[in-house]
Amino acid sequence: MQLDAEVSSSGGTADESAVNKYDRFLKWLLDNGAHFPLLELREYESDVRGVHAKEALAGDQVVVEIPLRCLITVEMGKESDVGKAVLASNLPLDAPKHIFLMLFMLTDRRNPSSFFKPYYDILPSSLSNMPIFWTDEELAYLKGSHLLVQIEERKRAIEADYAAIADVAPSLPSICSVEEFKWARMCVCSRNFGLEVNRIRTAALVPYADMLNHQRPRETKWTFDNARQAFTITTLQPIAPGAQVYDSYGQKCNHRFLLNYGFAVENNREADNFCPNEVGLWQERARKGERERGPIGALTAGDRSSLQPEAPVLEPRRTEQGNGPGREGGGEEGGGEEARIRKEDGMVVCSLIWFFPVCEQVKRIRVCVSDNENMKAALSLLRVVVANEEELVRMLGPGNMFKTARDITYPVSLGNEERVLHTLLKMVTDALALYPTRLEDDVARLARRDDASLRPFSNRRHALIQVRGEKEVLSAFQTLCSTALTLLDVSDNVFKETVNSLYSEGNFFAANYCSDVLYRLRQEEYRRADAAAAQRSVKVNLTNPTIV
Ligand SMILES: C[S@@+](CC[C@H](N)C(=O)[O-])C[C@H]1O[C@@H](n2cnc3c(N)ncnc32)[C@H](O)[C@@H]1O
């Protein structure tokens, strides 16, 4: 993060009370055994802070040490009165670890002599960058994006948690309002660390360590050091004096950065140029009780007798809260996934269900510009969706190798693939048409530095970065489909020339699909055609030996 005005916490600021609040915070930490002698906290604007190197930092140097007593852990929340009531009631909460951290913080901060008061005092008082707090005008910048649905879902989920907890712990409304509960939810979501403390997997709020902003590739690592009984941050490389010291919040799609942290990364690319930005394919919703029907629909195979009696199903899988190593922002994306082909009442049912247990919504397959597992799954499912009866029977009949739609990692036939490409092209074209602006317009607007409405770190800019990223993914799929469709029946030479030019333009996404999938399908089609021609010639030969 680069911000304009930088005011050192130890230097004089216009706002004396702000200086005092930081001085009190730093003194509290140091008095309790924390160490960060080579770093300084800077405030760039109200409640927007970052950590900088006071002097040159070497690689592999422990630069922050925060003792366990200064950490707020999940277990402390479980010990609170409301926490105990929640535990006893076994409530199905959206993000339980976050809830316990929130409950501790919300209860304890009401105590004016709390041990953690210096920490509570420096937490941002407003989180207006978090989309759940955006105004209608700000939300309108996301028009066309599925993120609008996710923001609404997030709001509803937090409200549902508040109501459910208030049911089992009637003191909750006297501890915090729904709005304060939402604030705490986003505060915890953007600041907690998922870690192991003395062999117990937990999450914690770690004062000072949560002042590091995000940047990739990561230049620091953090852990709970059992020997020191402290949370530590260690440099992974030398850092220049005065430079901001960053933490990596992980490799994430911008929608997750925006939803959970209130910012979107302008150039969200990994060192190898991979861009983790995604869009969801499929938008259908299942209503309560309809999960077995599936949004993609039921496909009936003509030859029912040849179907497997009991095709195994892929059981729903709930993704655990949290997002792998690194800071666990959000974590409430955990829907279940079902993708299965099976027989039901004599019908072959192919269903793709990404089931969201709280909102009873179908989850979408999120794809990015990469030939990754989700892209393969999306193609596999489409191959079933567009299959005709003969292809379905081939997929599901005796001796077939496909137990679930996800197993169809190989294309079925050139004809089936052509229908897949047409369907996918329509899906992404329809999705692009939902946005009020075109990708080229967004790119041009973000490149202009004189547009005051798009100032760095503004909600409007972050919204534009988000929708631009979605359109980039949709456009990449559009190019892949439209190019591939032109290559189905061209000569080998034209095919190779086109694929080579895709490679030389750097469009590896489309090029790889064409050379890996389409090329093989074309070869198989030639072989089949040759075999059929050979068979015809044998038949003709047998009936009329004079015509060869
Ligand atoms: C863990 S806190 C980091 C400290 C924070 N800047 C503060 O002053 O309290 C995470 C928050 O910092 C901000 N942030 C972190 N990295 C950022 C980045 N690369 N760009 C913009 N904002 C960032 C976001 O508001 C995010 O929710």
- Catalogue all structural domains in the chain, each as residue range(s) with its CATH number: 7-71+206-248 (2.170.270.10), 72-205 (3.90.1410.10), 278-486 (3.90.1420)
Per residue, the 3-state secondary structure of 329-372, as one string, reads CCCCCCCEEEEEEEEECCEEEEEEEEEECCCCEEECEEEECCCC
Q: Is the pLDDT of residue 294 over 70?
A: no
Distance between CA 428 and CA 436 in Å, rounded?
Answer: 15
What is the Å distance from ligand 1's center to 130 Cα?
11
CB-defined site of ligand 1, < 6 Å: 1, 47-50, 124, 129, 190-191, 210-211, 213-215, 261-263, 457
Residue 416 banded pLDDT, cuts 50, 70, 90:
very high
Distance between CA 207 and CA 28 in Å, rounded?
Answer: 10
Instruction: For tokens 């003395």, name the residue.
Output: 198
Distance between CA 470 and CA 253 in Å, rounded?
Answer: 10
What is the Å distance from ligand 1's center to 47 Cα?
10
Q: What DSSP letter does each residue of 269-335 carry, written as one string?
A: --TTS----EEEE------TT-TTT-SS-B---S-GGGS-SS---PPPEEPPSS-SSSB----TT--
User: For a substitution probing ligand 1, which of 213, 244, 461 has the most ligand atoms within 8 Å of its CB?
Assistant: 213
Task: Output the residue whose Cα is nearest ligand 1's atom 20.
Answer: 1
Atom of ligand 1 nearest to the CA of 129: 25
> HSE (CB half, 13 Å, CA atoms) of 93?
28
Write down the pLDDT at residue 350.
46
**ipTM metric:** 1.00
Give which of 175, 166, 159, 231 is closest to 202, Cα–Cα.
Answer: 231
Distance between CA 518 and CA 484 in Å, rounded?
Answer: 8
Task: Output the residue whose Cα is nearest ligand 1's atom 23.
Answer: 213
**Distance set, CA 16 to CA 11, 13, 124, 307 (Å):** 11, 6, 17, 77
Of the chain, the percentage scoring pLDDT greater than 70 comes to: 78
Write down the pLDDT at residue 536.
80
Write down the pLDDT at residue 39.
98
Write down the pLDDT at residue 281.
85
Task: Output the residue whose Cα is nearest ligand 1's atom 14.
Answer: 213
Residue 229: Cβ within 10 Å count: 14
Residue pLDDT, tens place only, 198-251: 999 999 999 999 999 999 999 999 999 999 999 999 999 999 999 999 999 999
Residue pLDDT, tens place only, 264-289: 999 999 999 999 999 988 644 444 44
What is the Å distance from ligand 1's center to 126 Cα?
13
Residue pLDDT, tens place only, 365-406: 899 999 998 999 889 888 888 888 788 777 766 666 666 667
Q: Is the pLDDT of residue 361 over 60?
A: no
CA angle 403, 323, 278 (to 5 degrees): 70
Task: Name, in order, each residue with C-beta under 8 angstroms of 99's C-beta and a sequence gap of 6 or more.
Answer: 77, 86, 93, 161, 165
Average pLDDT, the chain: 83
Task: Output the residue whose Cα is nearest ligand 1's atom 27.
Answer: 261
Q: Are 312 and 403 in contact (CB under 8 A)?
A: yes
Q: Is the pLDDT of residue 318 over 50?
A: no
What is the Å distance from ligand 1's center to 190 Cα?
8
